Amino acid sequence: MLKRDRLNGEKLISGCSISGIINEDGKRMNGESIIRSIAVMHDRSNGLGGGFAAYGIYPEYADYYAFHLMFDDLKAKEETEHYLNRNFVTKLSGEMPTRAVETIHNPPILYRYFVRVDKDRLSEMEIEEDDFVVRSVMKINTSIDGAFVMSSGKNMGAFKAVGYPEDVGRFYRLEEYEGHTWISHGRFPTNTPGWWAGAHPFTILDWAIVHNGEITSYGSNRRYLEMYGYQCTMMTDTEVAAYLFDLLLRKHGLPIEIACKALASPFWSEIDRLPGKEKELIKAVRQIYGSALLNGPFSILLGFNGGMVGLNDRIKLRPMVAARKGSLLYMSSEECGIREICPHPDIIWAPKAGEPVIGRLKEAEAETKVAV
Protein backbone atom coordinates (compact mmCIF):
# COMPACT_ATOMS: atom_id res chain seq x y z
CA MET A 1 0.00 0.00 0.00
CA LEU A 2 1.42 3.36 -0.99
CA LYS A 3 2.02 5.84 1.79
CA ARG A 4 -0.09 8.99 1.56
CA ASP A 5 0.60 12.50 2.72
CA ARG A 6 -1.40 13.11 5.90
CA LEU A 7 -2.02 16.73 4.95
CA ASN A 8 -3.66 16.41 1.55
CA GLY A 9 -4.06 12.69 0.78
CA GLU A 10 -1.83 12.80 -2.29
CA LYS A 11 0.67 10.04 -3.01
CA LEU A 12 4.25 10.61 -1.96
CA ILE A 13 6.13 9.69 -5.12
CA SER A 14 9.63 10.67 -4.08
CA GLY A 15 10.03 8.81 -0.79
CA CYS A 16 13.35 7.55 0.57
CA SER A 17 15.94 9.83 2.09
CA ILE A 18 19.68 9.99 1.63
CA SER A 19 22.31 12.00 3.45
CA GLY A 20 26.09 12.14 3.44
CA ILE A 21 28.98 13.97 5.10
CA ILE A 22 32.69 14.00 4.29
CA ASN A 23 35.48 15.88 6.03
CA GLU A 24 37.96 16.36 3.22
CA ASP A 25 40.73 17.01 5.75
CA GLY A 26 40.32 13.41 6.90
CA LYS A 27 39.32 14.34 10.45
CA ARG A 28 37.02 11.73 11.90
CA MET A 29 33.60 12.40 13.43
CA ASN A 30 31.30 10.04 15.27
CA GLY A 31 27.98 8.82 13.90
CA GLU A 32 25.81 11.20 15.89
CA SER A 33 25.61 13.88 13.17
CA ILE A 34 24.62 11.54 10.36
CA ILE A 35 21.93 9.98 12.56
CA ARG A 36 20.49 13.43 13.29
CA SER A 37 20.65 14.39 9.61
CA ILE A 38 18.71 11.37 8.36
CA ALA A 39 16.31 11.42 11.34
CA VAL A 40 14.97 14.87 10.47
CA MET A 41 13.68 13.35 7.19
CA HIS A 42 11.82 10.62 9.09
CA ASP A 43 8.63 10.97 7.01
CA ARG A 44 10.43 10.12 3.77
CA SER A 45 10.78 6.49 4.93
CA ASN A 46 8.31 3.98 6.33
CA GLY A 47 10.31 1.79 8.67
CA LEU A 48 11.07 -0.95 6.16
CA GLY A 49 14.78 -0.20 5.87
CA GLY A 50 17.53 2.07 7.12
CA GLY A 51 21.28 1.96 6.88
CA PHE A 52 24.68 3.64 6.98
CA ALA A 53 28.18 3.24 5.58
CA ALA A 54 31.17 4.73 7.36
CA TYR A 55 34.80 5.18 6.29
CA GLY A 56 37.93 5.39 8.42
CA ILE A 57 36.29 3.53 11.32
CA TYR A 58 38.84 0.69 11.64
CA PRO A 59 42.27 2.38 11.54
CA GLU A 60 43.85 -0.37 13.67
CA TYR A 61 42.82 -2.95 11.03
CA ALA A 62 43.17 -0.73 7.95
CA ASP A 63 45.10 -3.39 6.01
CA TYR A 64 42.40 -6.02 6.48
CA TYR A 65 39.12 -6.50 4.65
CA ALA A 66 36.31 -5.89 7.14
CA PHE A 67 33.54 -8.36 6.31
CA HIS A 68 30.23 -7.41 7.91
CA LEU A 69 27.89 -10.40 7.65
CA MET A 70 24.35 -11.34 8.63
CA PHE A 71 23.20 -14.92 9.09
CA ASP A 72 19.73 -16.43 9.39
CA ASP A 73 21.01 -19.27 11.56
CA LEU A 74 24.10 -20.98 12.96
CA LYS A 75 24.30 -23.38 10.02
CA ALA A 76 24.80 -20.45 7.62
CA LYS A 77 27.40 -18.96 9.96
CA GLU A 78 29.33 -22.24 10.18
CA GLU A 79 29.31 -22.72 6.39
CA THR A 80 30.50 -19.16 5.83
CA GLU A 81 33.29 -19.46 8.39
CA HIS A 82 34.39 -22.70 6.76
CA TYR A 83 34.59 -20.87 3.42
CA LEU A 84 36.47 -17.92 4.94
CA ASN A 85 38.94 -20.23 6.68
CA ARG A 86 39.75 -21.94 3.36
CA ASN A 87 40.32 -18.71 1.45
CA PHE A 88 41.36 -16.02 3.94
CA VAL A 89 43.48 -15.53 7.03
CA THR A 90 41.36 -14.12 9.86
CA LYS A 91 42.95 -11.55 12.18
CA LEU A 92 39.92 -11.02 14.39
CA SER A 93 36.23 -11.95 14.42
CA GLY A 94 33.28 -11.43 16.72
CA GLU A 95 29.71 -10.27 17.12
CA MET A 96 28.91 -6.79 15.89
CA PRO A 97 28.15 -4.46 18.83
CA THR A 98 24.42 -3.71 19.06
CA ARG A 99 21.91 -2.58 21.66
CA ALA A 100 18.25 -3.46 22.10
CA VAL A 101 15.96 -0.98 20.31
CA GLU A 102 12.23 -1.41 20.68
CA THR A 103 11.44 -0.90 17.00
CA ILE A 104 14.14 -3.26 15.65
CA HIS A 105 12.66 -6.75 15.60
CA ASN A 106 14.08 -10.25 15.01
CA PRO A 107 17.65 -9.31 14.09
CA PRO A 108 19.73 -11.96 12.32
CA ILE A 109 23.08 -13.12 13.68
CA LEU A 110 25.46 -10.20 13.03
CA TYR A 111 29.21 -10.86 12.85
CA ARG A 112 32.28 -9.12 11.51
CA TYR A 113 35.57 -10.61 10.34
CA PHE A 114 38.85 -8.81 9.70
CA VAL A 115 40.63 -10.88 7.07
CA ARG A 116 43.42 -10.83 4.52
CA VAL A 117 43.54 -12.93 1.38
CA ASP A 118 45.48 -16.18 1.50
CA LYS A 119 48.33 -15.53 -0.96
CA ASP A 120 48.56 -19.24 -1.81
CA ARG A 121 44.94 -19.14 -2.99
CA LEU A 122 45.72 -16.15 -5.21
CA SER A 123 48.66 -18.01 -6.76
CA GLU A 124 46.53 -21.09 -7.37
CA MET A 125 43.76 -19.13 -9.09
CA GLU A 126 45.95 -16.54 -10.86
CA ILE A 127 43.62 -13.72 -9.91
CA GLU A 128 44.01 -10.18 -8.57
CA GLU A 129 43.32 -9.71 -4.87
CA ASP A 130 40.32 -7.37 -5.22
CA ASP A 131 38.78 -9.63 -7.86
CA PHE A 132 39.19 -12.57 -5.49
CA VAL A 133 37.32 -10.67 -2.76
CA VAL A 134 34.52 -9.75 -5.18
CA ARG A 135 34.25 -13.38 -6.28
CA SER A 136 34.14 -14.50 -2.64
CA VAL A 137 31.31 -12.07 -1.83
CA MET A 138 29.33 -13.35 -4.81
CA LYS A 139 30.01 -16.94 -3.73
CA ILE A 140 28.76 -16.40 -0.19
CA ASN A 141 25.66 -14.49 -1.28
CA THR A 142 24.63 -17.03 -3.92
CA SER A 143 25.80 -20.37 -2.52
CA ILE A 144 25.35 -20.25 1.26
CA ASP A 145 21.67 -20.18 2.15
CA GLY A 146 20.94 -17.59 4.81
CA ALA A 147 24.27 -15.74 4.63
CA PHE A 148 24.64 -12.16 3.30
CA VAL A 149 27.67 -9.90 3.09
CA MET A 150 26.76 -6.36 4.13
CA SER A 151 30.20 -4.96 3.30
CA SER A 152 33.67 -6.18 2.41
CA GLY A 153 35.96 -3.14 2.15
CA LYS A 154 39.00 -2.02 4.09
CA ASN A 155 38.68 0.45 6.96
CA MET A 156 34.94 0.82 6.38
CA GLY A 157 31.68 -0.91 7.13
CA ALA A 158 27.97 -0.98 6.31
CA PHE A 159 25.27 -1.15 8.97
CA LYS A 160 21.68 -1.83 7.92
CA ALA A 161 18.39 -3.28 9.12
CA VAL A 162 14.62 -3.22 8.78
CA GLY A 163 13.58 -0.10 10.69
CA TYR A 164 13.71 3.68 10.57
CA PRO A 165 17.27 4.89 9.98
CA GLU A 166 17.65 6.71 13.30
CA ASP A 167 16.64 3.51 15.11
CA VAL A 168 19.07 1.50 12.99
CA GLY A 169 21.86 3.92 13.95
CA ARG A 170 21.08 3.50 17.65
CA PHE A 171 20.81 -0.27 17.25
CA TYR A 172 24.35 -0.45 15.82
CA ARG A 173 25.69 2.11 18.37
CA LEU A 174 27.09 4.30 15.60
CA GLU A 175 27.80 7.15 18.01
CA GLU A 176 30.69 4.94 19.21
CA TYR A 177 32.35 4.85 15.75
CA GLU A 178 34.44 7.62 14.20
CA GLY A 179 34.87 8.07 10.45
CA HIS A 180 35.82 10.76 7.94
CA THR A 181 32.90 9.92 5.60
CA TRP A 182 29.34 8.84 6.37
CA ILE A 183 26.42 8.08 4.06
CA SER A 184 22.92 7.11 5.17
CA HIS A 185 19.54 6.00 3.87
CA GLY A 186 15.91 5.91 4.97
CA ARG A 187 13.95 3.46 2.85
CA PHE A 188 10.45 3.63 1.37
CA PRO A 189 10.26 0.48 -0.79
CA THR A 190 7.62 0.55 -3.51
CA ASN A 191 8.34 -2.51 -5.67
CA THR A 192 10.83 -4.62 -3.69
CA PRO A 193 10.52 -6.31 -0.27
CA GLY A 194 11.58 -4.81 3.03
CA TRP A 195 14.15 -7.21 4.47
CA TRP A 196 17.47 -6.90 6.32
CA ALA A 197 19.80 -7.67 3.43
CA GLY A 198 17.71 -5.55 1.06
CA ALA A 199 18.14 -2.35 3.06
CA HIS A 200 20.61 0.25 1.78
CA PRO A 201 23.54 0.74 1.43
CA PHE A 202 24.62 -1.80 -1.16
CA THR A 203 28.32 -2.42 -1.29
CA ILE A 204 31.20 -4.24 -2.94
CA LEU A 205 34.75 -3.80 -1.67
CA ASP A 206 34.78 -0.24 -0.30
CA TRP A 207 32.14 1.14 -2.72
CA ALA A 208 28.80 1.83 -1.01
CA ILE A 209 25.62 3.18 -2.59
CA VAL A 210 22.47 4.71 -1.12
CA HIS A 211 19.68 5.61 -3.51
CA ASN A 212 16.38 7.44 -3.71
CA GLY A 213 14.25 6.56 -6.73
CA GLU A 214 13.89 3.70 -9.16
CA ILE A 215 16.36 2.29 -11.68
CA THR A 216 14.12 1.21 -14.54
CA SER A 217 17.08 -0.05 -16.56
CA TYR A 218 17.79 -2.71 -13.91
CA GLY A 219 17.27 -5.62 -16.33
CA SER A 220 19.73 -4.43 -18.96
CA ASN A 221 22.20 -3.24 -16.29
CA ARG A 222 22.06 -6.62 -14.58
CA ARG A 223 22.67 -8.56 -17.79
CA TYR A 224 25.59 -6.27 -18.62
CA LEU A 225 27.15 -6.84 -15.19
CA GLU A 226 26.70 -10.60 -15.42
CA MET A 227 29.06 -10.60 -18.41
CA TYR A 228 31.77 -9.43 -16.00
CA GLY A 229 30.97 -11.98 -13.28
CA TYR A 230 28.76 -9.88 -11.00
CA GLN A 231 25.65 -11.54 -9.59
CA CYS A 232 22.70 -9.52 -8.27
CA THR A 233 21.11 -11.29 -5.31
CA MET A 234 19.49 -8.65 -3.11
CA MET A 235 16.15 -8.33 -4.96
CA THR A 236 16.45 -4.58 -5.50
CA ASP A 237 17.38 -2.31 -8.38
CA THR A 238 19.96 -0.31 -6.39
CA GLU A 239 22.46 -3.17 -6.20
CA VAL A 240 23.48 -2.65 -9.84
CA ALA A 241 24.73 0.88 -9.12
CA ALA A 242 27.35 -0.37 -6.63
CA TYR A 243 28.62 -2.99 -9.06
CA LEU A 244 28.67 -0.56 -11.99
CA PHE A 245 30.86 1.87 -10.06
CA ASP A 246 33.19 -0.99 -9.16
CA LEU A 247 33.39 -2.05 -12.79
CA LEU A 248 33.94 1.42 -14.25
CA LEU A 249 36.19 2.89 -11.55
CA ARG A 250 38.24 -0.08 -10.36
CA LYS A 251 38.20 -2.53 -13.26
CA HIS A 252 38.17 -0.08 -16.18
CA GLY A 253 40.05 2.71 -14.44
CA LEU A 254 37.76 5.55 -15.53
CA PRO A 255 37.97 8.91 -13.74
CA ILE A 256 34.96 9.54 -11.50
CA GLU A 257 33.69 12.34 -13.73
CA ILE A 258 33.66 10.06 -16.80
CA ALA A 259 32.07 7.16 -14.92
CA CYS A 260 29.26 9.51 -13.88
CA LYS A 261 28.81 10.57 -17.51
CA ALA A 262 28.40 6.89 -18.41
CA LEU A 263 25.79 6.27 -15.70
CA ALA A 264 23.87 9.55 -16.18
CA SER A 265 24.76 10.33 -19.77
CA PRO A 266 23.45 13.48 -21.47
CA PHE A 267 20.81 13.03 -24.16
CA TRP A 268 22.10 12.73 -27.73
CA SER A 269 20.67 16.17 -28.51
CA GLU A 270 22.75 17.64 -25.68
CA ILE A 271 25.87 15.76 -26.79
CA ASP A 272 25.47 17.21 -30.30
CA ARG A 273 25.70 20.72 -28.86
CA LEU A 274 28.96 20.11 -26.96
CA PRO A 275 32.24 21.62 -28.23
CA GLY A 276 34.59 19.45 -30.34
CA LYS A 277 36.77 17.28 -28.11
CA GLU A 278 34.22 17.10 -25.28
CA LYS A 279 31.57 16.03 -27.77
CA GLU A 280 33.74 13.21 -29.09
CA LEU A 281 34.62 12.03 -25.59
CA ILE A 282 31.05 11.93 -24.26
CA LYS A 283 29.82 10.40 -27.50
CA ALA A 284 32.38 7.59 -27.15
CA VAL A 285 31.42 7.04 -23.50
CA ARG A 286 27.75 6.84 -24.43
CA GLN A 287 28.46 4.34 -27.21
CA ILE A 288 30.81 2.12 -25.21
CA TYR A 289 28.85 2.14 -21.95
CA GLY A 290 25.30 2.27 -23.25
CA SER A 291 24.36 -0.80 -21.20
CA ALA A 292 25.64 0.88 -18.04
CA LEU A 293 23.31 3.86 -18.41
CA LEU A 294 20.99 4.18 -15.40
CA ASN A 295 17.49 5.08 -16.52
CA GLY A 296 14.67 6.23 -14.31
CA PRO A 297 14.41 8.77 -11.48
CA PHE A 298 17.28 8.63 -9.01
CA SER A 299 19.57 10.49 -6.69
CA ILE A 300 22.47 8.46 -5.33
CA LEU A 301 25.39 8.88 -2.98
CA LEU A 302 28.54 6.85 -3.49
CA GLY A 303 30.94 6.43 -0.60
CA PHE A 304 34.49 5.10 -0.99
CA ASN A 305 37.78 5.36 0.91
CA GLY A 306 38.92 8.36 -1.13
CA GLY A 307 35.74 10.41 -0.99
CA MET A 308 32.02 10.77 -1.67
CA VAL A 309 30.02 11.43 -4.85
CA GLY A 310 26.45 12.64 -5.30
CA LEU A 311 24.67 12.13 -8.63
CA ASN A 312 21.18 12.82 -9.97
CA ASP A 313 19.53 11.30 -13.01
CA ARG A 314 19.83 13.30 -16.23
CA ILE A 315 16.44 14.99 -15.75
CA LYS A 316 16.69 15.36 -11.96
CA LEU A 317 13.48 13.60 -11.03
CA ARG A 318 14.65 13.12 -7.45
CA PRO A 319 15.85 15.87 -5.10
CA MET A 320 19.39 16.52 -3.89
CA VAL A 321 20.91 19.47 -2.05
CA ALA A 322 24.61 20.06 -1.36
CA ALA A 323 26.47 22.42 0.98
CA ARG A 324 29.97 23.24 2.16
CA LYS A 325 31.29 24.49 5.49
CA GLY A 326 35.07 24.70 5.56
CA SER A 327 36.45 21.23 4.83
CA LEU A 328 33.03 19.60 5.26
CA LEU A 329 30.86 18.66 2.28
CA TYR A 330 27.23 17.74 2.90
CA MET A 331 24.64 16.18 0.60
CA SER A 332 21.03 15.38 1.40
CA SER A 333 17.60 14.76 -0.08
CA GLU A 334 16.38 17.93 1.65
CA GLU A 335 17.96 21.12 2.87
CA CYS A 336 16.72 20.36 6.39
CA GLY A 337 18.99 17.29 6.47
CA ILE A 338 21.96 19.66 6.15
CA ARG A 339 20.78 22.56 8.31
CA GLU A 340 19.93 20.21 11.17
CA ILE A 341 23.67 19.60 11.66
CA CYS A 342 25.12 22.65 9.88
CA PRO A 343 22.79 25.64 10.43
CA HIS A 344 25.03 28.16 8.64
CA PRO A 345 26.91 26.62 5.69
CA ASP A 346 29.33 28.71 3.65
CA ILE A 347 27.41 27.79 0.49
CA ILE A 348 24.36 25.69 -0.28
CA TRP A 349 23.03 24.73 -3.70
CA ALA A 350 20.94 22.27 -5.71
CA PRO A 351 23.19 20.29 -8.11
CA LYS A 352 22.07 20.18 -11.74
CA ALA A 353 20.74 17.06 -13.43
CA GLY A 354 23.46 14.55 -14.25
CA GLU A 355 26.26 16.70 -12.81
CA PRO A 356 28.21 14.93 -10.05
CA VAL A 357 29.19 16.60 -6.80
CA ILE A 358 32.52 15.13 -5.73
CA GLY A 359 34.19 15.33 -2.36
CA ARG A 360 37.76 14.01 -2.11
CA LEU A 361 39.99 13.37 0.87
CA LYS A 362 43.05 15.61 0.50
CA GLU A 363 45.30 12.69 1.35
CA ALA A 364 43.78 10.54 -1.40
CA GLU A 365 43.89 13.42 -3.88
CA ALA A 366 47.58 13.98 -3.15
CA GLU A 367 48.32 10.27 -3.68
CA THR A 368 46.54 10.41 -7.03
CA LYS A 369 48.62 13.39 -8.17
CA VAL A 370 51.84 11.63 -7.17
CA ALA A 371 50.77 8.49 -9.03
CA VAL A 372 50.05 10.48 -12.17
Sequence ranges of the domains in the chain: 17-371
Q: Helices (DSSP H) in the chain: which residue ranges?
A: 32-39, 74-87, 119-125, 129-143, 165-171, 218-226, 239-245, 256-263, 268-272, 276-288, 335-339, 362-371
Write down the pTM of the prediction: 0.92
pLDDT tens, N- to C-terminus, the chain (372 residues) = 223 333 344 444 457 999 999 999 999 999 999 999 999 999 999 999 999 999 999 999 999 999 999 999 999 999 999 999 999 999 999 999 999 999 999 999 999 999 999 888 888 888 999 999 999 999 999 999 999 999 999 999 999 999 999 999 999 999 999 999 999 999 987 666 788 999 999 999 999 999 999 999 999 999 999 999 999 987 788 999 999 999 999 999 999 999 999 999 999 999 999 999 999 999 999 999 999 999 999 999 999 999 999 999 999 999 999 999 999 999 999 999 999 999 999 999 999 999 999 999 997 665 554 443
Cis, bond preceding 201 (omega within 30 deg of 0): yes
For residue 14, the SS3 value is coil
pLDDT in tens, 116-146: 998 888 888 889 999 999 999 999 999 999 9
260 assigned to active site: no
* Catalytic residue chosen out of the listed positions 16, 232, 260, 342: 16
Enter the DSSP assignment of 205. Answer: T
Q: For residues 158 and 208, is the Cβ–Cβ distance under 8 A?
A: yes
* DSSP strands (E only) in 38-80: 50-55, 65-71
Fold of 17-371: Glutamine Phosphoribosylpyrophosphate, subunit 1, domain 1 (3.60.20)
pLDDT in tens, 239-252: 999 999 999 999 99
- Quote the CA–CA distance of 56 and 142 in Å, as a whole number: 29
Q: How far is CA 118 from the centre of its chain?
A: 27
